[in-house]
Amino acid sequence: MKMNPESELQFMQKAITLARKGSFRVSPNPKVGCVLVKKGKIISQGSHQHFGGAHAEINALREAGVRAKGSTMYINLEPCHHYGKTPPCTEAIIEAGVKEIVVGIVDPNPLVNGKGLKELKAKGIKIKLGMLREECAKLNEPYIKYITRGLPFVILKSAMSLDGKIATPKGDSKWITSEASRKYVKTLRSQVDAILVGIDTVLQDNPGLLSNHSKKRPIRVILDSHLRIPLDARVLNSRAPTIVVTQNGVDKKRIGNLEARGVEVLRIPRWRKHPQRGLDLKFLMKKLAKRGITSILIEGGGKVNASALEMGLVDKVLFFIAPKIVGGENAITPVEGEGIDRIGKAIKLKDTKIRKFGDDILFEGYV
């Protein structure tokens, strides 16, 4: 039976939707969804639910049983063909008698990277590659960067007034944006591995940095060069793991007090280019990646945001803009630092998009 191209797109879109639903517990694995189709109808579906668990293909094949023979598989990412925490998916696909596979993108992992498709093709299975390629790549952009560059995918989020202020001259910032915007941010937190803020944000706002998903508690990373964080700070008093990042040579008693509360203290060097500007965030990102952290949401103030941008660490920007005017030449802005001397040197964003949350506008784009 020849498939309608429009139907094929719907099947792949279904696979992407399934992948997205299982996304909050699979890291550092990719998000994957799978749909099995026979005679133009979905006979089974599956997704990767959690790290170390069965892959999407296996879950879909188990649901289909003997009906999988002669079916077409729609999957957003190339099936694996190596032994990891689970056996190769390619073996199960071949054994089940799947006749055709429609794939969004090749898995960039060197252990896979086209080898899975090559093996399936050698067994007589028809391969169609590239359906909804851009959407499939965007779905797994943290995984792709982590695998290819050994660094987390970094999202910089800020909330500001219409005139570009994140706080008044006295530091008051609650609440610039609407409840709808804040609710979305909590959802966003459940989709990343870690949240990063500076000590000034902790001292000023005392945030909990919680997500709205009980099964996903992202690691909180606090930049605190001099260990000024109060032991009763909200960020230290919840069940989510917390790392306080500081410099070498800090007071050992303060380190001991934090460690006694179950907080990890990580010492890293200062930024060699501008030591007065704080810690070396590039060094930190490499350290976090080695722990399997593939994505980080920065919710810092102007200093942290400026350092992350200047060091070239930010991949995506999310700026919430509220219909409020704060004013004041000393009011705090979302990006501080030294700035630039010519507009031509400004950081340019691409693939920009605008959405509304209540009366607020969310502007997002890629660096």
Query: So which residues are the catalytic ones?
Result: 57
CA-to-CA distance for 117 and 139, rounded, in angstroms? Answer: 20
Angle between helices 5-21 and 56-64 (to 10 degrees): 110
Tokens of 103: 């794939």
Q: Are 207 and 173 in contact (CB under 8 A)?
A: no
Q: Of 146, 166, 185, 111, which is closest to residue 27 (Cα–Cα)?
A: 146
Residue 23 one-letter amino acid: S
Note whether 227 and 258 are within 8 A (CB).
yes
- Cα Rg of the chain (Å, integer): 23
Beta-sheet pairing, 242-247 with 350-357 = unpaired
Q: Residue 266, Cβ neighbours under 10 Å: how many?
A: 14
- Residue whose token pair is 């590239």: 130
Angle between helices 115-122 and 89-96 (to 10 degrees): 20
CA distance 182 to 153: 22
Which residues have C-beta within 8 Å of that of residue 30, sequence separation ≥ 6? 48, 77, 107, 140, 143
DSSP state of 347: P
HSE-CB at 191 with a 13 A cutoff on CA atoms is 17
Q: How far apart are CA 152 and CA 293, in angstroms?
A: 6
Pairwise CA distance, residues 82 & 111, whole Å: 7
**290 Cβ contact list (under 8 Å, min separation 6):** none
